Amino acid sequence: MLFSEPVFVFLFLPLLLLGYALTPRAAQNTLLLLASLLFYAWGEGFFVLVMLGSIAFNYLVGLLLEAGRGRRRLRPLALLLGVAGNLALLIVFKYAGFLVTNLNLLLAGLKLPALPVPALHLPIGISFFTFQAMSYVIDVYRDRIPVQKHPLRIALYIALFPQLIAGPIVRYQHIARQLTRRVVTRPGLAEGIRRFILGLGKKMLLANVLAVPVDKIFAIPAHQLTTSVAWLGVVCYALQIYFDFSGYSDMAIGLGRMFGFRFLENFRYPYLARTITDFWRRWHISLSSWFRDYVYIPLGGNRRGPLRTYRNLVIVFLLCGLWHGASWTFVAWGLFHGLFLAIERLGGWAWPDSWRRVAP
C-alpha cells in the first residue's frame, strides 16, 4: 500500500484517524502498531514476518546490552551480534543475488561450476527499518539512549507506518518521548494534513508527470539521442526523483504529525546547493547523517589526516551507493560522489558544519 493509492487516502487513513481519536490514550500505541502491521502486510503479505523477526531480534539484543553492563566482553559481543544480524538480513534479501551473480563470473573464469542464483523477494522498506533498528542497537551500546524494555514501543518505533517504506530514517532518540507522551492538537492535525497534501501533490502532479518524458527519452537507443534530448531527459529525471523522494518524505512527516509525532526534515532544497558537500547536507538528510554518525565518524572522521579523511569519504559513499541498490551502477554512483567530496576537501572548499565532527 502506497500513500498515493486511493485505498490509503480514502479508506485506510480516514478510518485510522477516526479510530485513533476514539481510542483511549493508553491503547493508541497498540492501535498504531496493529495498523502499521496491516499497512505493511497489505502489500508484502507473508514478509511482514521478516519485519516482526527484526523487531524481536533487536529488542532482545537491546536487553542483552543492558544485561551486559559491567561485563566488558558481553556488551561488545552483543553489539557485534546486533550489527551482524541486521546486516545479514539485508545481505540475504537485498544482496544475495548480486553477490552470487558476481561470484559466478569469478567461478566461470576459473572454469568451475556456477552456483544457483537465489531469486528472493525484496521486502519493501527493508533498508529503512533495518537501519533504524541498527541505530537503536548502536545507540544503546554507546549509552546515548536507555534500553527500551517495553516490546510494544520498540515494535512501534521500527514498524511505524508513516516512515516505514520510504523514510525518513528516524532515530530512536528523536521520538523516544513521543512513543509514551504525545498529544494531537487541532493545529498539529491541520499542519500534518497540509504537509501530506503538499507531498501528495509533489508525487502525483510533478514526479509522475515528469516520469512520462523520462521513460520515453530513456527508451531511445543511444545512437539516436541528440544532445538536447539527452539533457532534457537528465533534467526531467533529476526533478522527478527529487519530487518523488521529497514528496514521500513530506507525506511521512505530515502523517506522523497527524498522530502526534514530529519527524526531522529530510530534504532542504538540495538543488540550490553550491557544492557536492552542500548537496549532501540537503538531500536525504536522515541517510547522510546516519552514515556520518555510524560509519564516517567510527572510521576516524577527519581526525587522522587528509588521506584517511579521503578514504573515509569514499568508503562511506561506496556503502551509500550499495544501500540504494545491489548493482554496479549504484557502486559507481557512490564512488562518483565519494571522489568528488574528496576532491572538494582537497581543493579547500567550505566544509559543512554538520560534518565537522570528528571521532571521539
Do 238 and 284 fall into the same domain?
no
Return the minimum-mean-pLDDT range out of 121-125, 316-320, 355-359: 355-359
Q: Identify the pLDDT of residue 349.
A: 57
- Domain boundary (111, 146, 175) is at 175
Give the mean pLDDT of 74-96: 94
Do 126 and 274 fall into the same domain?
no
CB neighbour list of residue 16: distance below 8 Å, 6 or more residues apart: 31, 35
Cα–Cα dist 86/84, whole Å: 6
Do 46 and 141 fall into the same domain?
yes
pLDDT tens, residue by residue, 286-340 = 999 999 999 999 999 888 788 888 899 999 999 999 999 999 999 999 999 999 8
Give the mean pLDDT of 70-90: 92
Q: Identify the pLDDT of residue 217.
A: 95
> Is 325 within a domain?
yes
Do 217 and 305 fall into the same domain?
no
pLDDT tens, residue by residue, 7-63 = 999 999 999 999 999 999 999 999 999 999 999 999 899 999 999 999 999 999 999
CB neighbour list of residue 263: distance below 8 Å, 6 or more residues apart: 162, 163, 168, 170, 174, 175, 252, 253, 256
Do 214 and 239 fall into the same domain?
yes
Q: What are phi and psi of 95, to 5 degrees?
A: -120, -5
Per the residue annotation, which of 121, 174, 284, 324 is the catalytic one? 324
Burial of 211 (0-12, 13-18, 19+ CB in 10 A): middle
Give the mean pLDDT of 90-118: 91
- Nearest residue to 291 via CA among 117, 178, 127: 127
Enclosing domain of residue 244: 195-258
pLDDT tens, residue by residue, 150-165 = 999 999 999 999 999 8
Cα–Cα dist 60/82, whole Å: 9
Instruction: Look over the chain and give the mean of its residue pLDDT values, rounded to a whole number.
Output: 91
Q: Identify the pLDDT of residue 348.
A: 61
CA distances (Å), origin 238, targets 1, 16, 47, 73? 25, 35, 32, 48
Statement: residue 222 has pLDDT above 90: no
Cα–Cα dist 360/357, whole Å: 9
Packing angle of the helix pair 126-141, 74-90 (nearest 10 deg): 170
The tally of domains found in the chain comes to 3
Do 57 and 157 fall into the same domain?
yes
Q: Identify the pLDDT of residue 196.
A: 97
Do 15 and 125 fall into the same domain?
yes
Q: Identify the pLDDT of residue 359.
A: 34
| Residue pair 32/156 in contact by the 8 Å Cβ criterion | yes
Cα–Cα dist 135/154, whole Å: 12
> Is 299 within a domain?
yes
> Is 219 within a domain?
yes
Do 233 and 301 fall into the same domain?
no
Cα–Cα dist 295/288, whole Å: 10
Q: Identify the pLDDT of residue 358.
A: 38
Statement: residue 360 has pLDDT above 80: no
Q: Identify the pLDDT of residue 357.
A: 43
CB neighbour list of residue 70: distance below 8 Å, 6 or more residues apart: none
Is the peptide bond preceding residue 221 cis, with omega within 30 degrees of 0? no
Do 135 and 210 fall into the same domain?
no
Give the mean pLDDT of 254-270: 95
223 in catalytic set: no
Give the mean pLDDT of 185-204: 96
